[in-house]
Structure 1
Amino acid sequence: MNRALLSLFFYANLAIVLTIAGYRVYLYASAPDSSALLVGQIEAIEAEVAGDRPLRFAVVGEGNNSIGVLERQIIPRVNSSGLDFVVSAGNLVSGGGEDKYRALLGTLSHLDIPYLLTFGENEYEEFGSARFYQRFGPHFYSFALPQARLVFLDATGRTPTDWQERWLRDILQVDSPKPVLVFVGHPLVPPEQETLFEPDVGAWSESTNRDRLLALLSDLGVDMVVSAGAATFSDQTVGGVRHIVTGGAGGFVLNDDASFYHYLEVSISEGDISVEMMRVDTAPTPLMRQIEGLWFFVYSLFYVGWLNFLLIFSAFVIAGMYLYNRLFRERRYYPDYDSRVAVDLGRPLKVVMFTNTYLPFIGGVAISVDRLKKGLEKLGHEVLVVAPAYGQHVEETGVVRVPALIEAGGLIRVANPLHPRTWQAVRQFGPDVIHLHHPFWLGSLGHRMARRLNVPAIFTYHTRLEQYAHTIPLPGVLFRNVIAHWLVRRFANSCDEIIVPTPVTRDYVRLIGVDRPVHVHPTGVEIERFLPQEPCQLAALRSRHNPDGRKILVTVSRLSKEKNLDFLIAAMRELKDRHAPPFRLLVIGDGEERAHLTRTIRDKDLTSEVSLVGSVSEHHIPDYLGLSDLFVFASTSETQGMVILEAMAAGLPVVAVNASGVDAFVQNRRTGVLTEENIEVWTDAVHALLVNRSERHAMARAALEEARQHSVERFSTDIARVYQTAIGARSKSKRNGALRSS
C-alpha cells in the first residue's frame, strides 16, 4: 500500500482516538443535572396502588443497556400488560460510565409506568456509584405499600454490610402481615443451573457473610429475595425464604435451557405472592436463538458503547500499523554507497541553519552553530541562521531573529514558529540545504521548510534529550525511557543526513532505530584563540581570582541539574578534607541552579575553595583557561563535551567522569584521566595531578596535540562535504524517479 495512504490512515485513526477521548471528557464535564429520580418514581407508585387492590409489577435483571431485548422486546410487553411498575434487580447498565447512564435514561424514557432500581455491580463500576446516587438516589433504600414492603440492598461493598444489616433489623422488627421482598444485586443462593460465566460476587459472597445474612432474612420473616448477577433463571427456597435469580433482560445469554431471555411478573394479593416467569423467544430454532443472543449482545455493545467500539477499533488499527511498520518496512542498516556521491555545484553553497539557542546565549549548541557558520563563511559559503531573538533587536549579518513567545530565565527563549517573516527570509535566501540543530520547535519549522522547498534536511544530534527529563512536565521515567528516544528517532529518520559528534553517539542513534546515513564530525575548536594569553591579561585575572597563589581548577558549565555540579562540589569537600595542596575551583557559567549551588557551597564550608564566576563572554573563556592548571568535569549528559576540547586546546589536562561525549577526546592517562562516577575515585585522580607536576605537564602537551586534530577549518570542510553528499543523493533520487515514471 502507498506509504502516504498508510500515513493518512494512521493519522485519521489517531484523530478518532483523540476526538473520542475529548468527547468522553465532555460527557463527564456536562453531566445532566437530574437527581433523586427514584423519589418521583416512588411517589408515582404510591399514588397508583393506593387501596387494597392486588399489586402487579415486573422484575428484570441483567438489562446491560440492551437495545434488542430490554428496550425493544421487554419494555413494549410490560407497557401493554397493565402492570403497576417495573423493578430492576441489578445490572441494568453494562457499566457505570457516563455514556452508559445516559443511554439508560433514554431506555427508561420508553416506559409508560414507574420504575425502581437495585444498585448492582455494573452500576458501581467505572466510578458509577456517584452517578447512580446523583441521578437516582441512595444505594440502599426501602418503602412500604399497602400490599407489601420492598427493600433494596447494596451488595457491591460500597455500603458496609453491618450497617445495612442493622438497618434491616430496624425497619423489619415490627411484626407486620405485609409480605417483604428484598432485592439484591448478586445471588445469595447459587443458581440451580450452571452458566457460561460465574455469577457476580459481592458484599455477601463470602460464606460467613452470606450465612449471616440468610439467617437474618429468615429471622426477620422476609418472604422473597430477588437478585440479578447471573444470566439464568433460578427459583429455590432456603430457610423458609424464596430466592429467585433473574438474569434474562439483555445480558449475554446462550438461549438454551439454562440461559434464556425472560422477565418476571409478580402479583401480590391478600398477602400471597405469585411469580410468573415470562420467557422472551423470537427465533424459531435453538441454533438461531443462540445466534440471536450473540447478535443482541454485540449489537447492544455497539449501539450503546459505539464510542468505545471506535476507540478500541482505532487503537487496534494504530497498533497494527505500528507493527506493520516495525515488521515489514524495509530498513537500511548499511550505507548505500552508490548514492553517496558529493556534488560540487560550482558555486558557494547557500545554507540555512535552524537552532533553538544562539548567541548571546552561552551553551554548547549555540557555540557550535556559531563556529560552523563562521567556518563555512571562511570557506566562501553563504549561511543564514534562524534563531530566537534575545532582547533589543540588533541587525546581524546572516542571522534572522524570530520573536520570542516565552522568555524563561535569563536567556532561554521559545521562539514563535509561525512568524511570517521567517518563511519570507528563507525563501528569499534560496537555500541549497537546511541544517537543523534541534529535533523540535524551530527545528520542526526548518524541517517543514526543507520539504516545501524540496532541499535536503540535515540534522545534527547535539543533546541527549533523555537527560532533561526533570525539565519536562511529564512523568520523568516515561520521557526518559520512551518519548525522548522516539522523538529523536522519528525526527532523524525524516531527514536526509544525520551528523553526530562522536562514535558513541552514532552507536546510540543506530540503537534507537535511526536508519539514515550518519556522519561523525565533532564540532571544531579555534586553536589559535586558546594559545597562551597575554601576560597582562592573566595577571589581572590572577589578582582577582587567585591572589593567594593556589592551584586553579576550572570547569565551564551551565548551572543546571543535568551537569552534575553537586558531584563536583562534593568532590571539592573531599579534596579539602584530604589536605590537598591549596586549590580553588572556578565554575564558569550561569543557570537555574545557581541559588542551590551557592547554598551548597556555603553549607559545605567551601566559600574559599569554590567560586561561581557566572557567565563569561566566549572571547574571555581562553583567559580563564590560561589561568588554570587543571580542567575538571562531571557531566554525564554530553554528546560531545565541547568545553573539554577547548580546555585541551588551551593545554590543560582533564579529569572527568567517564561518559559518552567525553571519552571520544580524553584518552585515559594520556590527555587526562577518566573515572567512574565515584567521588573517592574521582578525587584521587584530581589529587594525584595536583601533586605531580611532571605528569600534569605531560598530559597538557598531549591534550594540545589531540585538540589540533579538531580544528574549525577541518570541521567546516567536513560538514560542507556532508551537504554536497546530501545534494547529490537527492539529485540521483530525482533522476531515478523520473526514469521510473517515463
Structure 2
Amino acid sequence: MSRKLLALATLALAVICSGLLSCVNDPHQLRPLQALPSTATLGAAADPDHFVFYVFGDNRPAKKSDPPTATIQQIADAIGTAKPALALSCGDLIAGKEPGEQAKIQAEYQAILDIFHPTGVPLYNAPGNHEMDDAKDVPNAVMTGYYEQVLGLPYGSFDYGNSHFVSLNTEEVASLLVVKSPRAPTDDGTADLDPGYVSPDQRQWLDEDLALHQSAAHVFIFMHHSIHPFKAKNALDKASADAITAILAKYPNVTAVFSAHEHLYYNVQSHDDLTDPMAGATNGGPRFLVTGGAGAPLQSNDHGFFHYFIVTVNAGDISISMVKL
C-alpha cells in the first residue's frame, strides 16, 4: 500500500472511530426506544403539534396458564379503530415470573404481540415485575434477558411530534450491596419483596436524556412502579423515587408521569377522583397518574375498575380522558 493510500485509510479509520466514540459517549444514542416488534413502526407526525396517544397498564392474566384477557383485547380493538399515533403500556404485559421457562415466556409475549399487530399502531412498553422478576417478585437477570431478546430495550426514549417520551425500567436487578427499601408488609403480614428499583446508572441516563430535550413542548414518562402510589406499600424503592423526583423537578417540560403496578385508577392530584385524570392542581410539576386497569385482577376498592387513558396533545396544552370498560 502506498503512503498516500495508507494515510487515507488511517484518516477514514479515525473518522469512523470518532463517530463510534461520540455515539458511545452520548447516552441518548445508546437508548433509542423502538416500538414492540410486529406492532407498527413510528412514523413522522402529520401535525407535530396535534396528535393523540393511548395509555394503559397491567393487562396480565390472573393465572400463568390463562390466555390474554378479554379486557386487553377490548383495548387493542379500540386502539385499532381509533388509530392514535402510538400507545404506551406501563407494564405487566404477561403473567411471566418463570425464569426456567423460556419457551413459555416467549409464547406469552407472542400472544400479546399477536393481539396488537392488527391495530397498525406502534406500542411501547415499560416493563413490570411480571416481565422481569422471578416467582418471589425479585428482579431476575434471566427474565431481563428474555425481555431484551423478544421486546428490546427495557428503558429508553423517543420523539414524536413536539413531544419526547421516556420509558423507565423500575425492575432492575439490584447489586447485593443495595438495600432495597421499603420492604413494607402486605395486608396479610407477609414481606413485600418487590418495591421496584432504578439503578444510579439509569437515573443518570434519565437526567442526561431530559437535559438533551428541554426544547420539547412536552415530556411524557411511563414506568411500572409508581413514585406516588395509591397505597404506600406499593411505592418504588425510596432511594430511587427520591432521586427521580429530584431529577424531574429540574425540567419543567415534564408534563405527565404514567405508572401502574396497582390494579386500579389513581389520580395523585385528586385522591378521591374516579372520573377525571385532569382533576386537581399539579402546582407546576408533572401530573402523576396510576393506570393499572387493563385486565389484571382488580383491587377491591372504588378505584379498582378496568380502564385506559386517551391523551390529546394540542400544541402547548394536553388533555387526558379516561375510558371505563
- Which TM-score band applies after superposition, normalised by the shorter structure? 0.5 to 0.7
Q: Is the 8 A contact 1:177 1:271 kept in 2?
A: no
2:266 is the counterpart of 1:251? no
Pairwise CA distance, 1:40: 6.4
**Is 2:70 the counterpart of 1:68?**
yes
Q: 1:144 aligns with which of 131, 135, 159?
A: 159
RMSD across aligned positions (CA): 2.6
1:273/1:75 CA distance change after superposition, 3 Å = same
2:59, 2:293 within 8 Å by CA — same for their partners in 1? yes
In the alignment, the residues of structure 2 paired with residue 40 and residue 154 of structure 1 have an alpha-carbon distance, to the nearest angstrom, of 18
1:213 corresponds to 2:215: no
Q: 2:171 aligns with which of 156, 160, 180?
A: 156
| Aligned residue in 2 for 1:58 | 54
Counterparts in 2 of 1:63-212, with a 5 A limit? 63-65=59-61, 66-71=68-73, 73-96=74-97, 97-126=105-134, 127-158=142-173, 161-174=199-212, 175-191=214-230, 199=234, 205-212=236-243
* Structure 1 stretch displaced more, 179-188 or 82-91: 82-91
On the 8 A contact 1:37/1:137 being kept in 2, the answer is yes
Pairwise CA distance, 1:41? 7.4
Matches within 5 A, 1:95-494: 95-96=96-97, 97-126=105-134, 127-158=142-173, 161-174=199-212, 175-191=214-230, 199=234, 205-221=236-252, 222-237=254-269, 240-254=285-299, 257-280=302-325
**Partner amino acid for 1:57?**
F
Partner residue in 2 for 1:25: none
Q: CA offsets per residue over residues 179-216 of structure 1, 9 Å max, x none?
A: 0011111111022xx59xx63x5xxx233331221121
The residue aligned with 2:35 is: 38
User: In structure 2, do the counterparts of structure 1 residues 254 and 154 end up closer, same or farther at CA, with 3 Å as the change threshold?
Assistant: closer
Greater CA drift, 151-160 or 130-139: 151-160
- Relative contact order higher in (CA < 8 Å, ≥ 6 apart): 2
Number of equivalences: 235
User: Which whole-Å CA distance do the structure 2 matches of 1:108 and 1:43 have between them?
Assistant: 9
DSSP-derived class of the 2:320 partner:
strand
The CA deviation at 1:154 is: 0.8
Q: Could you tell me how far apart the structure 2 residues matched to 1:69 and 1:225 are?
A: 23
Change over 3 Å in CA distance of 1:254–1:157 after alignment to 2 = closer
Q: TM-score, normalised by structure 2?
A: 0.65
Distance in 1 separating the partners of 2:118 and 2:39: 18
Distance between the aligned counterparts of 2:297 and 2:222, measured in 1? Answer: 21
Considering fraction of residues, name the structure with more helix: 1
- Aligned-partner SS, 1:249: coil
Query: Does the CA-based 8 Å contact 2:50-2:315 persist in structure 1?
Result: yes
Higher Rg: 1
Change (3 A) 1:43 1:178: farther
Letter matched to residue 69 of structure 2: I
Separation of aligned partners in 2, 1:39 and 1:77? 18
Paired residues for 1:510-521 under 5 Å: none
Rounded Cα–Cα distance in structure 2 between residues aligned with 1:41 and 1:271: 32
Contact 1:41 1:115 in 2 (8 A): no
- In the alignment, structure 1 segments of 5+ residues that lack a partner are 1-35, 281-742
- 1:614-648 CA-partner distances (Å, limit 9, x unpaired): xxxxxxxxxxxxxxxxxxxxxxxxxxxxxxxxxxx
Paired amino acid for 1:176: S
- Letter aligned with residue 259 of structure 2: S
Q: Deviations over 1:333-375 (max 9, x none)?
A: xxxxxxxxxxxxxxxxxxxxxxxxxxxxxxxxxxxxxxxxxxx
C-alpha distance in structure 1 between counterparts of 2:78 and 2:161, whole Å: 26
Q: 2:316 is matched by which residue type in structure 1? A: G
Contact preservation (8 Å) 2:310, 2:320? yes
Q: Please show how residues 646-665 of structure 1 align to structure 2 within 5 Å.
A: none
Shift of 1:146: 2.1
Q: Distance in 1 between matches of 2:290 and 2:57?
A: 8
Deviation at 1:177, TM superposition (A): 4.2
Distance in structure 2 (CA, Å) of the matches to 1:162 and 1:37: 23
Give the 3 Å change call, closer, same or farther, for CA 118–75 of structure 1 in structure 2.
same
* Separation in 1, partners of 2:119, 2:166: 22
Q: Is the 8 A contact 1:64 1:250 kept in 2?
A: yes
102 and 145 in structure 1: CA distance in 2 versus 1, 3 angstrom threshold: closer
Q: Which runs of 5+ in 2 are unaligned?
A: 1-32, 62-67, 98-104, 135-141, 175-197, 270-281
1:272–1:107: structure 2 CA closer, same or farther, 3 Å change rule?
A: same
Mapped partners of 2:110, 2:152: distance in 1: 16
In the alignment, is the contact (CA less than 8 A) between 2:71 and 2:294 conserved in 1? yes
What TM-score do the two structures reach when normalised by structure 1? 0.30
